[in-house]
Protein backbone atom coordinates (compact mmCIF):
# COMPACT_ATOMS: atom_id res chain seq x y z
CA UNK A 1 0.00 0.00 0.00
CA UNK A 2 1.28 3.44 -0.93
CA UNK A 3 2.15 5.35 2.23
CA UNK A 4 3.63 8.82 1.87
CA UNK A 5 5.69 10.20 4.71
CA UNK A 6 7.21 12.95 2.55
CA UNK A 7 5.64 14.89 -0.29
CA UNK A 8 9.04 14.76 -1.98
CA UNK A 9 8.37 11.06 -2.66
CA UNK A 10 5.41 11.59 -5.01
CA UNK A 11 5.38 13.01 -8.54
CA UNK A 12 1.59 12.95 -8.92
CA UNK A 13 1.60 10.60 -11.91
CA UNK A 14 -1.47 8.64 -10.62
CA UNK A 15 -0.06 5.28 -11.76
CA UNK A 16 -0.88 3.87 -8.32
CA UNK A 17 -4.54 4.88 -8.64
CA UNK A 18 -4.74 3.53 -12.17
CA UNK A 19 -3.36 0.09 -11.35
CA UNK A 20 -5.27 -0.49 -8.08
CA UNK A 21 -7.62 -3.47 -8.64
CA UNK A 22 -10.07 -2.42 -5.92
CA UNK A 23 -10.10 1.31 -6.71
CA UNK A 24 -9.09 2.12 -3.15
CA UNK A 25 -6.66 4.86 -4.27
CA UNK A 26 -7.87 8.26 -5.41
CA UNK A 27 -5.96 11.42 -6.24
CA UNK A 28 -6.72 14.62 -4.34
CA UNK A 29 -5.19 18.10 -4.29
CA UNK A 30 -3.39 19.47 -1.27
CA UNK A 31 -3.33 23.09 -0.13
CA UNK A 32 -0.66 23.96 -2.71
CA UNK A 33 -2.73 22.55 -5.57
CA UNK A 34 -0.71 19.38 -6.21
CA UNK A 35 -2.36 15.94 -6.34
CA UNK A 36 -1.39 13.05 -4.07
CA UNK A 37 -2.80 9.54 -3.56
CA UNK A 38 -5.44 9.04 -0.88
CA UNK A 39 -5.79 5.41 0.21
CA UNK A 40 -8.87 3.73 1.65
CA UNK A 41 -7.00 1.24 3.82
CA UNK A 42 -10.13 -0.81 4.52
CA UNK A 43 -10.53 -1.61 0.81
CA UNK A 44 -6.85 -2.40 0.24
CA UNK A 45 -6.12 -6.09 -0.40
CA UNK A 46 -2.34 -5.71 -0.07
CA UNK A 47 -1.53 -6.78 -3.63
CA UNK A 48 1.42 -4.36 -3.84
CA UNK A 49 0.69 -3.30 -7.42
CA UNK A 50 0.71 0.38 -6.49
CA UNK A 51 4.23 0.17 -5.08
CA UNK A 52 5.40 -1.95 -8.02
CA UNK A 53 4.26 0.67 -10.53
CA UNK A 54 5.34 3.77 -8.59
CA UNK A 55 8.23 5.33 -10.56
CA UNK A 56 9.69 6.85 -7.40
CA UNK A 57 9.87 3.50 -5.59
CA UNK A 58 10.78 1.44 -8.66
CA UNK A 59 13.38 3.63 -10.34
CA UNK A 60 15.09 3.12 -13.67
CA UNK A 61 18.84 3.25 -14.14
CA UNK A 62 20.36 6.31 -15.79
CA UNK A 63 21.49 6.13 -19.40
CA UNK A 64 22.94 8.34 -22.09
CA UNK A 65 21.47 8.99 -25.53
CA UNK A 66 22.71 7.21 -28.62
CA UNK A 67 22.81 10.50 -30.48
CA UNK A 68 22.33 14.21 -29.79
CA UNK A 69 21.13 16.89 -32.19
CA UNK A 70 20.45 20.57 -32.40
CA UNK A 71 17.51 20.79 -34.78
CA UNK A 72 14.87 23.01 -36.38
CA UNK A 73 11.80 21.87 -38.27
CA UNK A 74 12.14 22.92 -41.92
CA UNK A 75 8.43 23.82 -41.90
CA UNK A 76 8.60 27.41 -40.62
CA UNK A 77 4.87 27.53 -39.88
CA UNK A 78 5.23 24.57 -37.54
CA UNK A 79 8.31 26.05 -35.88
CA UNK A 80 6.55 29.38 -35.35
CA UNK A 81 3.63 27.59 -33.70
CA UNK A 82 5.93 25.56 -31.42
CA UNK A 83 7.79 26.42 -28.23
CA UNK A 84 11.20 25.75 -29.73
CA UNK A 85 12.17 23.91 -32.91
CA UNK A 86 8.98 21.99 -33.73
CA UNK A 87 10.21 18.48 -32.94
CA UNK A 88 7.02 17.22 -31.28
CA UNK A 89 5.08 17.85 -34.49
CA UNK A 90 7.78 16.17 -36.57
CA UNK A 91 7.50 12.90 -34.63
CA UNK A 92 3.73 13.10 -34.13
CA UNK A 93 3.09 13.51 -37.85
CA UNK A 94 5.19 10.41 -38.53
CA UNK A 95 3.10 8.39 -36.06
CA UNK A 96 -0.20 9.71 -37.42
CA UNK A 97 0.94 8.92 -40.96
CA UNK A 98 1.31 5.29 -39.90
CA UNK A 99 -2.24 5.21 -38.54
CA UNK A 100 -1.19 5.81 -34.95
CA UNK A 101 -2.52 7.75 -31.98
CA UNK A 102 -0.75 10.70 -30.29
CA UNK A 103 -1.08 11.55 -26.59
CA UNK A 104 -0.07 14.94 -25.23
CA UNK A 105 -1.11 17.77 -22.92
CA UNK A 106 -3.75 20.33 -23.86
CA UNK A 107 -5.75 23.02 -22.08
CA UNK A 108 -9.40 22.22 -21.39
CA UNK A 109 -12.15 24.85 -21.61
CA UNK A 110 -11.29 26.10 -18.11
CA UNK A 111 -7.56 26.34 -18.89
CA UNK A 112 -6.58 23.33 -16.82
CA UNK A 113 -3.68 21.33 -18.29
CA UNK A 114 -4.93 17.80 -19.03
CA UNK A 115 -3.90 14.82 -21.14
CA UNK A 116 -5.72 14.16 -24.40
CA UNK A 117 -5.21 12.11 -27.57
CA UNK A 118 -5.68 12.64 -31.28
CA UNK A 119 -5.78 10.54 -34.42
CA UNK A 120 -5.62 13.52 -36.80
CA UNK A 121 -3.09 16.25 -37.61
CA UNK A 122 -5.72 18.84 -36.69
CA UNK A 123 -5.49 17.77 -33.07
CA UNK A 124 -1.76 18.45 -32.81
CA UNK A 125 -1.96 22.23 -32.52
CA UNK A 126 -3.53 22.08 -29.05
CA UNK A 127 -0.65 19.84 -27.93
CA UNK A 128 2.06 22.16 -29.23
CA UNK A 129 3.66 24.80 -27.02
CA UNK A 130 4.78 24.28 -23.43
CA UNK A 131 2.21 24.26 -20.65
CA UNK A 132 3.99 25.54 -17.56
CA UNK A 133 1.70 23.87 -15.05
CA UNK A 134 1.37 20.26 -13.88
CA UNK A 135 -1.11 18.35 -16.05
CA UNK A 136 -3.97 16.32 -14.59
CA UNK A 137 -3.30 12.70 -15.68
CA UNK A 138 -6.85 11.36 -15.36
CA UNK A 139 -7.15 7.91 -16.91
CA UNK A 140 -4.49 8.50 -19.57
CA UNK A 141 -2.48 5.36 -18.74
CA UNK A 142 -5.54 3.14 -19.08
CA UNK A 143 -6.38 4.79 -22.42
CA UNK A 144 -2.85 4.27 -23.75
CA UNK A 145 -2.97 0.61 -22.76
CA UNK A 146 -6.33 0.18 -24.48
CA UNK A 147 -4.96 1.46 -27.80
CA UNK A 148 -1.82 -0.67 -27.49
CA UNK A 149 -3.86 -3.81 -26.86
CA UNK A 150 -5.81 -3.03 -30.03
CA UNK A 151 -2.52 -3.15 -31.90
CA UNK A 152 -2.45 0.60 -32.55
CA UNK A 153 0.81 2.54 -32.74
CA UNK A 154 0.93 5.04 -29.87
CA UNK A 155 3.11 8.09 -29.21
CA UNK A 156 3.01 9.26 -25.59
CA UNK A 157 4.60 12.60 -24.74
CA UNK A 158 5.04 13.88 -21.20
CA UNK A 159 7.49 14.85 -18.49
CA UNK A 160 10.18 12.32 -17.51
CA UNK A 161 8.27 11.22 -14.40
CA UNK A 162 5.08 10.65 -16.41
CA UNK A 163 6.97 8.66 -19.05
CA UNK A 164 8.71 6.53 -16.39
CA UNK A 165 5.36 5.95 -14.66
CA UNK A 166 3.70 4.82 -17.90
CA UNK A 167 6.58 2.41 -18.55
CA UNK A 168 6.10 0.87 -15.09
CA UNK A 169 2.33 0.74 -15.49
CA UNK A 170 2.48 -1.07 -18.83
CA UNK A 171 5.38 -3.37 -17.99
CA UNK A 172 7.65 -5.04 -20.54
CA UNK A 173 8.44 -3.89 -24.06
CA UNK A 174 5.74 -2.74 -26.45
CA UNK A 175 6.83 -2.66 -30.08
CA UNK A 176 3.93 -0.31 -30.93
CA UNK A 177 4.71 2.26 -28.19
CA UNK A 178 6.94 5.29 -28.70
CA UNK A 179 7.84 7.30 -25.60
CA UNK A 180 8.96 10.92 -25.86
CA UNK A 181 9.72 13.15 -22.90
CA UNK A 182 10.63 16.79 -22.44
CA UNK A 183 13.50 18.01 -20.31
CA UNK A 184 11.74 19.45 -17.30
CA UNK A 185 12.91 21.90 -14.64
CA UNK A 186 9.85 21.18 -12.52
CA UNK A 187 6.06 21.40 -12.60
CA UNK A 188 4.31 24.51 -11.21
CA UNK A 189 1.20 24.44 -9.06
CA UNK A 190 -2.20 24.29 -10.82
CA UNK A 191 -3.62 26.38 -7.98
CA UNK A 192 -1.09 29.14 -8.59
CA UNK A 193 -1.82 29.02 -12.33
CA UNK A 194 -5.57 29.39 -11.89
CA UNK A 195 -5.03 32.18 -9.37
CA UNK A 196 -2.85 34.03 -11.85
CA UNK A 197 -5.38 33.66 -14.68
CA UNK A 198 -8.10 35.06 -12.45
CA UNK A 199 -5.83 37.93 -11.40
CA UNK A 200 -4.88 38.83 -14.97
CA UNK A 201 -8.46 38.56 -16.23
CA UNK A 202 -9.60 40.96 -13.51
CA UNK A 203 -6.74 43.36 -14.26
CA UNK A 204 -7.48 43.46 -17.97
CA UNK A 205 -11.21 43.87 -17.32
CA UNK A 206 -10.62 46.87 -15.04
CA UNK A 207 -8.30 48.45 -17.59
CA UNK A 208 -11.09 48.18 -20.17
CA UNK A 209 -13.82 49.48 -17.85
CA UNK A 210 -15.50 46.07 -17.60
CA UNK A 211 -16.51 43.74 -14.80
CA UNK A 212 -14.49 40.58 -14.37
CA UNK A 213 -17.58 38.50 -15.22
CA UNK A 214 -17.69 40.12 -18.66
CA UNK A 215 -14.24 38.88 -19.67
CA UNK A 216 -12.86 35.40 -20.31
CA UNK A 217 -9.49 34.05 -21.44
CA UNK A 218 -9.48 33.15 -25.13
CA UNK A 219 -5.86 32.09 -25.76
CA UNK A 220 -2.78 31.22 -23.69
CA UNK A 221 0.76 30.95 -25.04
CA UNK A 222 3.59 30.59 -22.54
CA UNK A 223 6.20 30.86 -25.26
CA UNK A 224 5.12 33.64 -27.60
CA UNK A 225 7.92 34.33 -30.09
CA UNK A 226 6.89 37.76 -31.38
CA UNK A 227 9.74 39.34 -29.39
CA UNK A 228 12.07 36.39 -29.93
CA UNK A 229 12.39 32.80 -28.71
CA UNK A 230 14.68 33.66 -25.80
CA UNK A 231 12.31 36.23 -24.30
CA UNK A 232 10.05 33.49 -22.84
CA UNK A 233 7.04 35.79 -23.28
CA UNK A 234 3.69 34.86 -21.76
CA UNK A 235 0.84 35.91 -24.08
CA UNK A 236 -2.85 36.03 -23.11
CA UNK A 237 -5.82 36.94 -25.28
CA UNK A 238 -9.27 37.75 -23.95
CA UNK A 239 -12.84 37.68 -25.20
CA UNK A 240 -15.76 39.81 -24.05
CA UNK A 241 -18.97 38.08 -23.01
CA UNK A 242 -22.24 39.25 -24.49
CA UNK A 243 -21.90 42.76 -25.91
CA UNK A 244 -18.70 43.50 -23.98
CA UNK A 245 -15.69 44.38 -26.12
CA UNK A 246 -12.62 42.20 -25.62
CA UNK A 247 -9.71 43.75 -23.69
CA UNK A 248 -6.44 44.02 -25.62
CA UNK A 249 -3.99 41.08 -25.49
CA UNK A 250 -1.45 40.91 -22.69
CA UNK A 251 2.16 39.94 -23.46
CA UNK A 252 5.03 40.04 -20.99
CA UNK A 253 8.45 38.44 -20.67
CA UNK A 254 8.47 39.23 -16.96
CA UNK A 255 4.94 38.43 -15.83
CA UNK A 256 4.45 37.57 -12.14
CA UNK A 257 3.60 33.98 -13.03
CA UNK A 258 6.79 33.50 -15.03
CA UNK A 259 8.82 35.18 -12.28
CA UNK A 260 7.47 32.68 -9.74
CA UNK A 261 8.20 29.81 -12.12
CA UNK A 262 11.76 30.71 -13.02
CA UNK A 263 12.64 31.56 -9.43
CA UNK A 264 11.44 28.01 -8.59
CA UNK A 265 8.91 29.25 -6.05
CA UNK A 266 5.87 27.18 -7.06
CA UNK A 267 7.23 23.79 -8.08
CA UNK A 268 6.09 20.42 -6.79
CA UNK A 269 8.24 19.36 -3.78
CA UNK A 270 9.75 16.33 -5.55
CA UNK A 271 11.08 18.54 -8.36
CA UNK A 272 13.81 19.90 -6.09
CA UNK A 273 15.28 16.40 -5.76
CA UNK A 274 13.98 14.95 -9.03
CA UNK A 275 14.86 11.23 -9.37
CA UNK A 276 14.28 11.20 -13.13
CA UNK A 277 17.38 13.00 -14.36
CA UNK A 278 20.20 11.37 -16.40
CA UNK A 279 17.82 9.60 -18.80
CA UNK A 280 15.94 7.67 -16.10
CA UNK A 281 12.60 8.07 -17.84
CA UNK A 282 13.78 5.49 -20.41
CA UNK A 283 12.09 7.38 -23.22
CA UNK A 284 12.88 6.70 -26.86
CA UNK A 285 13.28 10.40 -27.69
CA UNK A 286 13.94 13.42 -25.48
CA UNK A 287 13.23 16.96 -26.70
CA UNK A 288 13.86 20.37 -25.18
CA UNK A 289 14.81 23.95 -25.89
CA UNK A 290 18.48 24.07 -26.78
CA UNK A 291 19.58 26.75 -24.35
CA UNK A 292 23.17 27.80 -24.88
CA UNK A 293 22.96 27.23 -28.64
CA UNK A 294 23.83 30.90 -29.21
CA UNK A 295 27.19 30.27 -27.52
CA UNK A 296 27.88 26.71 -28.63
CA UNK A 297 26.65 26.87 -32.24
CA UNK A 298 25.54 30.41 -33.13
CA UNK A 299 24.94 29.31 -36.73
CA UNK A 300 21.96 27.32 -35.40
CA UNK A 301 20.44 30.27 -33.57
CA UNK A 302 18.09 32.69 -35.31
CA UNK A 303 16.08 33.39 -32.11
CA UNK A 304 13.05 31.63 -33.57
CA UNK A 305 13.53 28.34 -31.77
CA UNK A 306 16.13 25.56 -31.72
CA UNK A 307 15.48 22.14 -30.19
CA UNK A 308 17.83 19.83 -28.39
CA UNK A 309 17.05 16.24 -29.38
CA UNK A 310 18.30 13.07 -27.71
CA UNK A 311 17.70 9.89 -29.66
CA UNK A 312 17.85 7.36 -26.85
CA UNK A 313 16.94 4.09 -28.60
CA UNK A 314 17.02 2.60 -32.07
CA UNK A 315 13.24 2.90 -32.12
CA UNK A 316 13.61 6.61 -31.47
CA UNK A 317 16.04 6.89 -34.37
CA UNK A 318 13.59 5.15 -36.71
CA UNK A 319 10.76 7.53 -35.91
CA UNK A 320 12.80 10.73 -36.05
CA UNK A 321 12.92 11.95 -39.66
CA UNK A 322 16.14 13.89 -39.51
CA UNK A 323 15.90 14.81 -43.20
CA UNK A 324 12.93 17.05 -42.35
CA UNK A 325 15.11 19.17 -40.09
CA UNK A 326 17.91 21.63 -40.33
CA UNK A 327 20.33 20.13 -37.83
CA UNK A 328 23.81 19.41 -36.58
CA UNK A 329 25.04 16.67 -34.29
CA UNK A 330 26.12 17.64 -30.79
CA UNK A 331 27.47 15.80 -27.79
CA UNK A 332 25.68 15.03 -24.55
CA UNK A 333 28.51 16.58 -22.54
CA UNK A 334 28.39 19.78 -24.58
CA UNK A 335 24.66 20.34 -24.28
CA UNK A 336 23.56 19.46 -20.79
CA UNK A 337 25.35 22.13 -18.73
CA UNK A 338 22.85 24.63 -20.15
CA UNK A 339 19.82 22.34 -20.22
CA UNK A 340 19.23 20.79 -16.78
CA UNK A 341 19.57 17.17 -17.87
CA UNK A 342 21.55 16.01 -14.84
CA UNK A 343 20.85 18.12 -11.76
CA UNK A 344 17.50 19.12 -10.20
CA UNK A 345 16.81 22.79 -9.64
CA UNK A 346 17.56 24.23 -6.23
CA UNK A 347 14.70 24.79 -3.82
CA UNK A 348 14.07 28.50 -3.37
CA UNK A 349 14.30 29.28 0.37
CA UNK A 350 11.36 31.66 -0.07
CA UNK A 351 9.07 28.92 -1.42
CA UNK A 352 7.18 28.31 1.83
CA UNK A 353 6.69 32.05 2.36
CA UNK A 354 5.28 32.31 -1.17
CA UNK A 355 2.76 29.48 -0.64
CA UNK A 356 1.75 30.82 2.77
CA UNK A 357 0.79 34.07 1.09
CA UNK A 358 -1.12 32.18 -1.60
CA UNK A 359 -2.96 30.20 1.12
CA UNK A 360 -4.03 33.50 2.68
CA UNK A 361 -5.78 34.44 -0.54
CA UNK A 362 -3.06 36.56 -2.09
CA UNK A 363 -2.86 36.57 -5.85
CA UNK A 364 0.46 35.81 -7.53
CA UNK A 365 1.59 39.42 -7.73
CA UNK A 366 0.74 40.00 -4.06
CA UNK A 367 2.39 36.73 -3.03
CA UNK A 368 5.63 37.83 -4.71
CA UNK A 369 5.73 41.14 -2.88
CA UNK A 370 8.39 41.55 -0.18
CA UNK A 371 10.17 38.35 -1.19
CA UNK A 372 13.12 40.39 -2.52
CA UNK A 373 13.58 38.30 -5.66
CA UNK A 374 16.46 39.13 -7.98
CA UNK A 375 15.24 40.60 -11.29
CA UNK A 376 16.02 37.68 -13.60
CA UNK A 377 14.55 39.38 -16.64
CA UNK A 378 16.21 42.78 -16.21
CA UNK A 379 19.78 41.97 -15.24
CA UNK A 380 21.62 39.90 -17.84
CA UNK A 381 24.69 39.66 -15.66
CA UNK A 382 22.61 38.17 -12.82
CA UNK A 383 20.93 35.75 -15.21
CA UNK A 384 24.31 34.51 -16.48
CA UNK A 385 25.48 34.04 -12.90
CA UNK A 386 22.28 32.16 -12.09
CA UNK A 387 22.75 29.78 -15.02
CA UNK A 388 26.40 29.21 -14.14
CA UNK A 389 25.68 28.42 -10.47
CA UNK A 390 22.63 26.23 -11.05
CA UNK A 391 23.53 24.38 -14.25
CA UNK A 392 27.05 24.82 -15.62
CA UNK A 393 29.05 24.25 -12.42
CA UNK A 394 26.94 21.27 -11.19
CA UNK A 395 27.21 19.70 -14.65
CA UNK A 396 30.98 20.07 -14.65
CA UNK A 397 31.18 18.46 -11.21
CA UNK A 398 29.02 15.60 -12.46
CA UNK A 399 31.27 15.03 -15.48
CA UNK A 400 34.38 15.08 -13.30
CA UNK A 401 32.83 12.58 -10.87
CA UNK A 402 31.76 10.29 -13.72
CA UNK A 403 35.23 10.48 -15.23
CA UNK A 404 36.81 9.41 -11.96
CA UNK A 405 34.32 6.52 -11.60
CA UNK A 406 35.06 5.31 -15.12
DSSP class per residue in 48-91: -HHHHH-TTTSPPPP---SEEEEEEES-HHHHHTSSSS-HHHHH
pLDDT in tens, the chain (406 residues): 888 889 999 999 999 999 999 999 999 999 999 999 999 999 999 999 999 999 999 999 999 999 999 999 999 999 999 999 999 999 999 999 999 999 999 999 999 999 999 999 999 999 999 999 999 999 999 999 999 999 999 999 999 999 999 999 999 899 999 999 999 989 999 999 999 999 999 999 999 999 999 999 999 999 889 889 988 889 999 999 888 888 899 998 788 999 999 899 999 999 999 999 999 999 999 999 999 899 999 999 999 999 999 999 999 999 999 999 999 999 888 877 777 788 888 899 999 999 999 999 999 999 998 887 766 544 444 455 556 666 666 666 666 666 666 5
CA dihedral of 246, 212, 266, 88, whole degrees rounded to 10: -30
- CA atoms of 290 and 270, how far apart (whole Å): 24
Indicate the DSSP class of residue 287. E
CA distance 231 to 77: 19
Strands 177-182 and 285-289: parallel
pLDDT at 379: 42
- Rounded Cα gap, residues 78 and 90, in angstroms: 9
Cα dihedral value 97, 103, 108, 111, nearest 10 = -110
Residue 180: predicted pLDDT: 98
Please answer whether residues 218 and 110 qualify as being in contact, where contact means their C-beta atoms are separated by less than 8 angstroms. no
Cβ atoms of residues 326 and 377 within 8 Å? no
Pick the CATH number of 7-53 from 3.30.70.20, 3.60.70.12, 1.10.645.10, 3.40.50.720: 3.30.70.20
Length of the chain: 406
Which candidate, 304, 301, 288, 299, places its Cα nearest to that of 227? 304
How far from each other are the two terminal CA atoms of the chain, in whole angstroms?
Answer: 39
Residue boundaries of the structural domains of the chain = 7-53, 67-188+269-338, 190-266+345-373, 382-406
pLDDT of residue 231: 85
Q: What is the spatial distance between Cα 323 and Cα 206, in angstroms, rounded to a whole number?
A: 50
Amino acid sequence: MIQLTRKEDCCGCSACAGVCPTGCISMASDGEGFIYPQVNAKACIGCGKCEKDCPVIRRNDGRRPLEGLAAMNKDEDVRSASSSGGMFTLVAEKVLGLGGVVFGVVFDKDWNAVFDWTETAGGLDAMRRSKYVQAWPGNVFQKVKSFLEQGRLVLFTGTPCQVAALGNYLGGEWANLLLMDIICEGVPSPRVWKSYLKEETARQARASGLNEEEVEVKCVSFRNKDAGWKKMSLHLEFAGKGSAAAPPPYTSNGSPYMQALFHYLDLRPICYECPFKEGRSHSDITIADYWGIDRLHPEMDDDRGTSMVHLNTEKGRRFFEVERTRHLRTSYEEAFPYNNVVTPVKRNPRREAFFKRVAKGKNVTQALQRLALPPLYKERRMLRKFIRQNFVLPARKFLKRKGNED
